[in-house]
Structure 1
Amino acid sequence: MAFIKKSLVAAIVLPIMVVGAFAWWSKDPLTTAEPPIEFTITPGSGVGAAAQQMVKAGVPVNPFLFQILARVTGQSARIKAGSYELKPDTSPRLLLAQLVRGEFAQETLTIIEGWTFRQMREAIDGAKTLRHETAKMSDAELMAKVSPSYKQPEGLFFPDTYLFAKGASDLQIYRQAHQMLLTRLNAAWEKRDADLPYKTPYEALIMASIVEKETGQKSERAMIAGVFVNRLRTGMMLQTDPSVIYGMGARYHGKIAKKDLQTDTPYNTYTRYGLPPTPIALPGTQSLSAALAPANTPALYFVSRNDGTSQFSENLNDHNRAVNQYQRGASTP
């Protein structure tokens, strides 16, 4: 009789102990080591294959118990393929939740304001953790994948820091940056000042790119835009050096000569009136805002003071005096 009682107690207690031990295991951190352990779950993997891939990558999880945990919680068919990181203090239960939610290892890529599209492509091509689907594409082929409405890519991507999962396609970055640019541009266009000399948002984007390249001084961007808007309104040439430099392409080696200002290209705003045919760089939010809400100023000219700021003038005589003072070192009369 005593034996039967002991057997009954064991039959009741033992499962409780097993369940308790399993629950403790599922909540106990797998590791506190640094740095995080990287691993990848390949497409089509079931929970068993996923567990084996994690162990092979160095994740210290019991694959048998992990499979049981996934099945007991009804999550075994919901694990998502992708690249992950096991961070310190992650328990098997939290690891399973990470795989089910698809909390992939995140990388960042920063696109800088004022970059050309060529520079943006170089940065994306150099990101080792992206999957490079566009590496052999021409600019035109890339744009056909990103936004068939546009043939020329310059200026059509928003400079920002983008998050992506390791192994993501580089097309994801291009599409995200392009959509962000359109969102910001259209929002600024809807709030634009009245009577601006732009027929389309794209023309405003061209102006924003010029403003972006003309000054690194955020506080002056609206004034710079105001000068160029005044020139467009009065029929003056824009005469902006960054546009000339863009049109020179590989011929530019750090300096502009008089000959360069006289050599006609579609981007030479010293030989052609109006805006250049495309943007010349990737403008940021403040340049977009400046182009569509320029300063109300009578100024038609500006010259660098060589300290990061500009001297603005309403007429050519004042401008020439400013050039003599700040660029040629001559004293003003």
Structure 2
Amino acid sequence: MSLLVLLFAGALLVFGSALWWLHKPLPLQLPANSQVLDLEIEPGTPARGVADAVVASGVQMPAGLLHAWFRLSGQARQIKAGSYEIVPGTTPRKLLSMLVRGEEALKSVTLVEGWTFAQVRGALQKAEQLTPDTQGLGPEAIMAKLGKPGVHPEGRFFPDTYTYAKGSSDLSVFKRAARAMDRRLDAAWAQRNADTPLQTPEQALVLASIVEKETGKPSDRAQIGGVFTNRLRLGMLLQTDPSVIYGLGAQFDGNLRKQDLQLDTPYNTYTRAGLPPTPIAMPGKAALLAAVQPARTKALYFVARGDGSSHFSANLDEHNRAVNKYIRGQ
């Protein structure tokens, strides 16, 4: 009887020790200037290899002990490959749960409304731990890899914050942003006003990019969309400075001059009627809707007040007075 008691007590002790160990924070040897350990699990790595990788990352514990835990849990074959971060306070139980759930360490990059394709590329090149697979590729080659050969890249990516696993390809972010824009554009086009002068979703994307660049105050977007819609309907020149600036490219030094407005380029809406040939920036959801559902307005002109908002005018005389007031200070 005493032997059974001893065996039972021993079993309880072993069980209690195991339970205590599973909930005890792992001892970590953190690298200088970092509060996390980076753990990479390659596809096809067996449970023993995972345990070795955990120890190699800086967890100060016998790999055999971790391997035994993985196997005894019954979840060793469910561990997923990926990039992980082990933070102070992580227990063996939390570690296995993270690996089984595939809770990879994610980074993020934000693409801002109104950015150009060049700015998007710059942001992805600087994004933390994003593999630059498109480095050295021209815009045409990038669009071809995205399944859009011959499509101009400007405005084709939706501005948003995109998360990614460490080591992901920048091409994967490009693909997600391109698909997001396709979905947003399709959704906006399906909601277009019946009397819109726009004939295709592509034209809506171009107009939305102009609205995005012209808008200083979000509440003005629909009104600005209304002005350009009215001009398109009447066959008036759009006369939008952001399009002219885009056409100038590297020649633009930050100061738009009269001679710039007279220099004919495909994007000069002072010299050429209708919409420019491509978008000039990335429009957001609100700008897309402002292009296809503009405000019902008689305004044909607008001028910046200097506080981010715009003054809208239905005729040239009113517009000139507004220009004198807000631009010339007269």
Q: TM-score, normalised by structure 1?
A: 0.92
Instruction: Confirm or deny: 8 A CA contact 2:107 2:128 kept in the other structure.
Output: no
SS where residue 237 of structure 2 aligns? coil
2:304 maps to 1:304: yes
2:25 aligns to what?
29
SS where residue 162 of structure 1 aligns? strand
Q: Distance in 2 between matches of 1:30 and 1:289?
A: 52
Which structure 1 residue ranges, 5 or more long, are not aligned? Answer: none
2:206 aligns to what?
206
2:164 maps to 1:164: yes
Deviations 1:185-209 (A, max 9, x none): 1111111111101111111011010
Seen in structure 2, the aligned counterparts of structure 1 residues 78 and 178 have a Cα distance that, compared at 3 Å, is: same
Q: Distance in 2 between matches of 1:111 and 1:68?
A: 45
SS where residue 132 of structure 2 aligns? coil
SS where residue 202 of structure 1 aligns? helix
1:177 aligns to what?
177
Q: Distance in 2 between matches of 1:42 and 1:25?
A: 27
2:140 maps to 1:144: no
> Displacement of 1:150 after TM fit?
5.5
2:262 maps to 1:238: no
1:261 aligns to what?
261
Indicate the larger mover: 72-81 or 108-117: 72-81
Q: Distance in 2 between matches of 1:287 and 1:254?
A: 24
Instruction: Confirm or deny: 8 A CA contact 1:245 1:252 kept in the other structure.
Output: yes
Instruction: Confirm or deny: 8 A CA contact 2:305 2:326 kept in the other structure.
Output: yes
SS where residue 99 of structure 2 aligns? helix
Q: Distance in 1 between matches of 2:141 and 2:77?
A: 38
Q: Distance in 1 between matches of 2:147 and 2:221?
A: 29
Deviations 1:97-124 (A, max 9, x none): 1111111111111111111010000110
Q: TM-score, normalised by structure 2?
A: 0.93
Instruction: Confirm or deny: 8 A CA contact 1:205 1:279 kept in the other structure.
Output: yes
Q: Distance in 2 between matches of 1:150 and 1:36?
A: 44
> Displacement of 1:287 after TM fit?
0.7
2:279 maps to 1:279: yes
2:322 maps to 1:322: yes
Which structure 2 residue ranges, 5 or more long, are not aligned? Answer: none
Q: Distance in 2 between matches of 1:81 and 1:146?
A: 25
Instruction: Confirm or deny: 8 A CA contact 2:225 2:294 kept in the other structure.
Output: yes
Q: Distance in 1 between matches of 2:107 and 2:61?
A: 25
Instruction: Confirm or deny: 8 A CA contact 1:61 1:92 kept in the other structure.
Output: no
Amino acid of the structure 2 residue aligned with 1:49: G
Deviations 1:117-151 (A, max 9, x none): 10000110111301111112111111112232662
2:16 aligns to what?
20
Identity %: 52
Give the number of aligned pairs: 326
> Displacement of 1:6 after TM fit?
5.2
Amino acid of the structure 1 residue aligned with 2:102: G
Deviations 1:56-101 (A, max 9, x none): 2212444222111111122222222222111333211111111111
